[in-house]
Amino acid sequence: MLSMLSIRDVVLIDRLEVNLAPGLSVLTGETGAGKSILLDALGLVLGSRSDARLLRQGCDGAAVAACFRISHNHPARAILRESDVASGDDDIVVRRIIGRDGRSKAYVNDQPVGVTLLRRLGQALVEVHGQFESQRLLEPAHHRALLDAFGGHAAEVEACIATSRDWRQARERLARVQAEMEVAARDEAYLRDALAELEKLAPQPGEEADLAARRALLQNAEKLITAVTDAAQELSGGRGAADILRGVLRALERIAPKAEGRLEGALAALEHALSEVSEAEAVLERTLSDADLDPRRLEEVEERLFALRKLARKHNVPADALPRVEGELAERLAAITDGADTVQRLGAEAAAAEKVFRSAALRLSQARQACAARLDAAVAAELEPLRMGKATFRTRLTPLSEDEWGEHGCEAVEFEVATNPGSAPGPLARIASGGELARFMLALKVVLAQADPVSTLVFDEVDAGIGGAVADAVGERLARLADEVQVLVVTHSPQVAARGHHHWRISKRVVDAAARTHIEVLDEAGRTEELARMLAGARVTEEARRAARSLLAGSSAC
């Protein structure tokens, strides 16, 4: 509910702060006192268009703030969460500031927001009838949810949402596999040729790098073999290092017995050197006999390497990814083979999901049909006392085409009205603006009070053009509606004003040679005097006061 409205420098208002309470609050005052200014100011925080003409004369800016006290699961909090605006569990504070040029800035909980978000938030928090161009109940987009809430169709709606989701997912799976099969079938010849080519080459992970290294080695094989051959000749050829070492050993070994051990170290070193030379000879021999150094293998390695790279370019992947490509092609070919069975299975699943959805949607449609009749009758019962008994209200359910079926069921819902006998029902917006539309909306809101999440309703001169018993009926319905939601009503009718739980009088005063709008919370005596003024006009008589006290007593008794 709206708990506080603060206004600064808007038209005739310099400073004004109003604390609001639950129930029915009535605003009265003479024409031109500034009641519409309050609604204009409220409209600013609800997202209506800003205008420099709203600034009080001589001021550089205007500001309006409103505080809303709502439940933790109120739809407004979901709107804020979607927009990454902190909502928490505390009150929601909305501010709108207008500059001299008419441009405005908006804030929710001190976080800057756009006017579009402000308008969405405002539609979830407050509904205004009779003053603003846009009224939520006039928009068919909201009618289906209101009908379902009125009928208590939560279980049927949830079942429809869940089964619709399952059916949609089943159809998407089927369509995806069918599309894949169509593409695969068109490319089957290519797939088979490409797979055969890959299977023939049989690429291995890391093979390209290995072949490139072997190719680099083989490109220098002749030089390497020549160098190794020359080295081997130096080691083991005639008068090579090995022969020289053996000759030196033989010479020293002959004289060693006579050297009394002095040559033992030298002999050991020479034997070790000869062993290392022999090991080097063996390594060089193995190198010369290594098949990988055969220059004739260079062509074979290059042919394999170039074939890998060519195939990689053909598939536009690195050479190391060719084994993966081979597996994917094999899977796609297998899908063609197994696709018919898969399509048949998924088709059966989609058909079963559709059957379940149709059953859930039918239950929801039947519930809506029965509920529509009850809603029509309930609204008709409210119209008669409001002097709109000749008007006809109808909830129209229009079947949707199958491609429009979804989580909301299989029909569109729209509230329609015919205000004149014999005329065909049409959209609610056809009703003439002003009091007639406001009274019709009052009847509808009374019936839908518990179904609609909007917790604050504002009626601007809902009693226009009526009086007596009709005005009393309007007041009685406003009071009844206020048992469910917070209601604010601007009224010129004493019968309506007498029903209020809270009464504010709006007046215009001249302060420092300038007109100012003033708001006053009335006590019992003040209410009596205000109702007497509304009954009698400029000159309040004692008879008018007695009539006012009678109205208040009668309203209290009710």
CB-neighbour burial class of residue 555 (10 A; exposed 0-12, middle 13-18, buried 19+): buried
**Residue 108 domain flag:** no
* Residue 195 maps to a domain: yes
Comparison of pLDDT for 93 and 459, the residue scoring more? 93
Rounded Cα distance, 299 and 302, in Å: 5
Say how far apart CA 330 and CA 196 lie, in whole Å. 10
Is the pLDDT confidence value at 135 over 70? no
Q: Residues 171, 179: contact at Cβ < 8 Å?
A: no
* Tokens, residue 538: 């400029």
147, pLDDT greater than 90: yes
- Cα angle, residue 407 at apex, residues 406 and 410 outer, rounded to 5°: 50
- Going by pLDDT thresholds of 50, 70 and 90, the confidence category of residue 295 is low
Stretch 252-276: mean pLDDT, rounded?
A: 81
Residue 452, in any domain of the structure: no
**Dist CA 507 CA 390 (whole Å):** 38
Instruction: Note every long-range contact of 241-247, with CB atoms under 8 Å and residues 24 or more positions apart, other chains counting.
Output: 241/277, 242/274, 242/277, 242/278, 242/281, 245/270, 245/273, 245/274, 245/277, 246/274
Task: Give the separation between CA 533 and CA 431, rounded to whole angstroms.
Answer: 32
What total of structural domains would you count in the chain?
1
Which ranges constitute the DSSP H helices of 257-321?
A: 264-289, 298-315
pLDDT value at 557 more than 60: no
Tokens 């098949």 identify what position? 291
Domain carrying residue 284: 189-333
- Cα 179 off chain centre by: 29
* pLDDT score for 136: 67
Segment 547-557 shows an average pLDDT of 81
- Four-CA torsion 161, 164, 170, 176, nearest 10 degrees: -100
CA dihedral 322, 323, 329, 330 (to 10 degrees): 160
Lowest mean pLDDT among 49-58, 81-90, 103-112, 169-178: 81-90
- pLDDT at residue 134, as a whole number: 46
Q: Which of 61-65, 233-237, 439-443 has the highest mean pLDDT?
A: 61-65
Position 238 pLDDT exceeds 70? no
259 secondary structure, DSSP code: T
Distance CA 439, CA 129 (A): 9
Q: What mean pLDDT comes out for the span 260-268?
A: 81
Cα 505 from chain centroid? 44
Mean pLDDT, residues 106-123: 91
CB neighbour burial string for 76-91, b if at least 16 within 10 angstroms, e if fewer: bbebbeebebebeeee
* Residue 263 in tokens: 């040559």
How far is 518 from 34, CA to CA, in rounded Å? 8
* C-alpha R_g of the chain: 46
Closest Cα partner for 482 from 519, 442, 521? Answer: 442
- pLDDT tens for residues 17-30? 889 999 999 999 88
Tell me the C-alpha distance between 459 and 463, whole Å.
9
Instruction: Return the DSSP state at 520.
Output: E
**Residue 153 resides in a domain:** no
Q: How confident is the model at residue 539 (pLDDT cuts 50, 70, 90)?
A: confident
Examine residue 254 and state whether it is found in any structural domain, yes or no: yes
- Alpha-carbon span 9 to 19, nearest angstrom: 18
% of the chain at pLDDT higher than 90: 34
**CA pair distance 312, 306, nearest whole angstrom:** 10
Q: How many CA atoms lie within 13 A of 319 on its CB side?
A: 19
Q: How high is the mean pLDDT of the chain?
A: 85
Region 347-375 average pLDDT: 96
pTM above 0.85? no
Judged against a pLDDT cut of 90, whether residue 383 lies above it is answered with no
The residue with greater pLDDT, 238 or 449, is 449
pLDDT, mean of residues 238-253: 76
Task: Give the distance between the most distant pair of CA atoms in the chain.
Answer: 161
Other C-beta atoms closer than 10 Å to the C-beta of 31 total 7
What pLDDT sits at residue 97?
A: 93
The reply to whether 8 falls in a domain is: no
Residues 235-259 as b/e (b if ≥16 CB within 10 A, e otherwise) read bbeeeebbeebeeebeeeeeebeee
Whole-number Å distance between alpha carbons of 157 and 408:
7
Q: Can you give the pLDDT at residue 415?
A: 92
Terminal CA-CA length for the chain: 24
pLDDT confidence bin for 131, thresholds 50/70/90: very low
CB of 320 closer than 8 Å to CB of 205 = yes
Q: Check: CB of residue 451 under 8 Å from CB of residue 146.
A: yes
CA 349 to chain centre: 29
Strands 61-68 and 426-427 come out as unpaired
Task: Tell me whether residue 449 is in a domain.
Answer: no
Better pLDDT: 33 or 83: 83
**Domain-located, residue 558:** no
pLDDT digits (tens, 9 = 90+) for 398-453: 999 999 999 999 999 999 988 777 788 888 777 654 567 777 888 888 888 877 77
- Of residues 33 and 197, the one with the higher pLDDT is 197
